[in-house]
Amino acid sequence: MRDWETGSGEDGRAYLGGYLRSSMLSVPQRLSGLAQLIEHIAEGCAELGEHVARCAEQGTHAAGGNINSSGDRVCELDRVADELLVERLAASGSCAGVVSEERALPEVLPAAAAPYLVAMDPLDGSSNLGCSIPVGTIFSVRARGEGDPADPESYLTPGTAQVAAGYVIYGAPLELVVTTGSDVHVFFLDARRRWRLRRDHVVVPPQGKIYSVNEANVSRWEPELRQWLESCKEAGYTQRYVGSMVADVHRTLLKGGVFLYPADRSAPEGKLRLLYEAAPMAMLFEAAGGFASDGARRLLEVEAASIHQRTPVVLGGRVEVMGVERALRSSGSWHVVAATRRGRLPCIFEVGGRRVDGHLELSPGGRQHRFSSS
Ligand code: AHM
């Protein structure tokens, strides 16, 4: 064990390794290698932070010609982040396979019988590189169970199955925000590149004063959601939005209010990814006493039908998230005909006051559904 894995520094702030082992993880979690896994992710992100800083210094952030599995233009740093973190996950020996935004299919790691599967967005918000706006890494950890790490189905359990989730924000300093379910812990990277505890017991206030959304999309929203936004303005809310999910979510987690990326007429499934953006953030918000919804349901209970599935996202305090759900419920856009089997049923649904032909897809057991326009 390395010296910084135990104890605290001279200022009494615990090191990540020691804190994981002494306070944060239960004995079975420690024994099954969750501490090693989180530490390896954290170490990988510390290294990635240097690449992000170098890239900003040298102005080498421009997007290249490649398109990733999500249809986004990939810059060199996206590729570096993905490869570096997959390498660190492999080195942990605790991770059997990984789903990454940058890879069409799961990557099987050498320890294919290891206990955990990871889903990650290695570099979220990379379109913001080059203007000193923080970008981030988001990760979600699930127990592998009997799942085959090569099979996408193994990663499609609902967010309630996550055993840990977190993100790193590449600000000054770098911060790691992580939960294993019952509390949210914030670490910072000190000058000697060691993760140190900044705070735990993060609590999202039940009601805040900030809404965070891309308001340019408002004309494509449900009228009821537009009304909800107007009521926020009348109630004295202010807006903050930089378009980097980790930065906007970090502020919402610490200061309260609401972050949302709802469905709209041109994106009936929303923009953000369920497995490696929405679900881990939802776990953090619930662990901090906040709420997380897809506009109709608890986000953590939504089952993915595919590894890169998109979902509408609402994260924040109880008052704001319930306000958004109430608005969307009254719009009727999420009203679903009863159906009890897995399959793809033709249906008509309503988005932004417009009727759209599409399909309703039911997951095994018919408990979850998702729309796609045809
Ligand atoms: P990316 O994966 O291309 O970086 O997209 C994800 C980002 C989020 O970080 C952010 O919340 C959102 O997309 C911003 O989208 P928009 O520019 O439509 O507001």
Please report the DSSP string for 48-66 in residue order.
HHHHHHHHHHHT---EEEE
Clarify whether residues 161 and 215 are in a common domain: no
- Rounded CA-CA distance 95/115 in Å is 6
Domain contains 373: no
Last residue of a domain, one of 199, 221, 256: 199
Q: Verify whether ligand 1 is closer than 6 Å to residue 245 (CB atom).
A: yes
Clarify whether residues 233 and 305 are in a common domain: yes
Residues 6+ apart with CB under 8 A from 191: none
Q: Verify whether ligand 1 is closer than 6 Å to residue 264 (CB atom).
A: no
**Residue 343 confidence (pLDDT):** 52
**Residue 27 confidence (pLDDT):** 82
**Residue 68 confidence (pLDDT):** 63
Q: Is the four-CA dihedral 351, 355, 361, 365 of positive or negative sign?
A: positive
Domain contains 281: yes
- Rounded CA-CA distance 183/10 in Å is 25
CATH of residue 279 = 3.40.190.80
Distance from the alpha carbon of residue 342 to the mean position of ligand 1, in angstroms: 31
Cβ atoms 266, 323 nearer than 8 A: no
Q: Verify whether ligand 1 is closer than 6 Å to residue 214 (CB atom).
A: yes
Clarify whether residues 170 and 236 are in a common domain: no
Residue 292 dihedral angles phi and psi, to the nearest 5°: -145, 125
Clarify whether residues 160 and 239 are in a common domain: no
Tokens matching residue 242: 């930089």
Nearest ligand 1 atom to alpha carbon 121? 2
**Residue 329 confidence (pLDDT):** 86
Clarify whether residues 194 and 214 are in a common domain: no
Ordered per-residue pLDDT tens for the chain, 374 residues: 443 445 666 677 899 999 998 888 888 888 789 999 999 999 999 999 999 988 877 776 655 556 666 666 557 899 999 999 999 999 999 999 999 999 999 999 999 999 999 999 999 998 888 888 999 999 999 999 999 999 999 999 999 999 999 999 999 899 999 999 989 999 999 999 999 999 999 999 999 999 999 999 999 999 999 999 999 999 999 999 999 999 999 999 999 999 999 999 989 999 999 999 999 999 999 999 999 999 999 999 999 999 999 999 999 999 999 999 999 988 765 444 333 334 555 555 555 555 555 665 655 443 345 556 55
CATH of residue 49 = 3.30.540.10
Clarify whether residues 216 and 193 are in a common domain: no
Q: Verify whether ligand 1 is closer than 6 Å to residue 69 (CB atom).
A: no
- Rounded CA-CA distance 259/288 in Å is 15
Residue 265 DSSP SS3: coil
Nearest ligand 1 atom to alpha carbon 241? 19
Q: Verify whether ligand 1 is closer than 6 Å to residue 134 (CB atom).
A: no
Cβ atoms 368, 302 nearer than 8 A: yes
Burial 340-356 (b: 16+ CB within 10 A, else e): eeeeeeebebbbbeeeb
Q: Verify whether ligand 1 is closer than 6 Å to residue 126 (CB atom).
A: yes
**Residue 274 confidence (pLDDT):** 97
Tokens matching residue 176: 């790691």
Domain contains 93: yes
Clarify whether residues 45 and 185 are in a common domain: yes
Domain contains 204: no
Domain contains 328: yes
Clarify whether residues 104 and 215 are in a common domain: no
Nearest CA to ligand 1 atom 8: 245
Clarify whether residues 140 and 236 are in a common domain: no
Clarify whether residues 322 and 184 are in a common domain: no
- Rounded CA-CA distance 136/48 in Å is 10
pTM above 0.95, yes or no: no
Q: Verify whether ligand 1 is closer than 6 Å to residue 331 (CB atom).
A: no
Distance from the alpha carbon of residue 128 to the mean position of ligand 1, in angstroms: 9
Which DSSP string corresponds to 100-164?
Answer: ETT-SSPEEPS-TTSSEEEEEEEEETGGGTTTT---EEEEEEEE-TT--TT-GGGG-S-GGGEEE
Distance from the alpha carbon of residue 272 to the mean position of ligand 1, in angstroms: 7
Domain that holds residue 117: 3-199
Question: Which amino acid, one-letter code, is at 226?
Answer: R
- Rounded CA-CA distance 120/89 in Å is 11
Q: Verify whether ligand 1 is closer than 6 Å to residue 125 (CB atom).
A: yes
Nearest ligand 1 atom to alpha carbon 128? 4
Domain contains 54: yes
Clarify whether residues 115 and 165 are in a common domain: yes
**Residue 272 confidence (pLDDT):** 97
Nearest ligand 1 atom to alpha carbon 70? 2
**Residue 128 confidence (pLDDT):** 87
Clarify whether residues 111 and 32 are in a common domain: yes
**Residue 60 confidence (pLDDT):** 63
C-alpha distances (whole Å) from 57 to each of 22, 51, 60, 285 are: 38, 10, 8, 33
Total domains present in the chain: 2
Domain contains 367: no
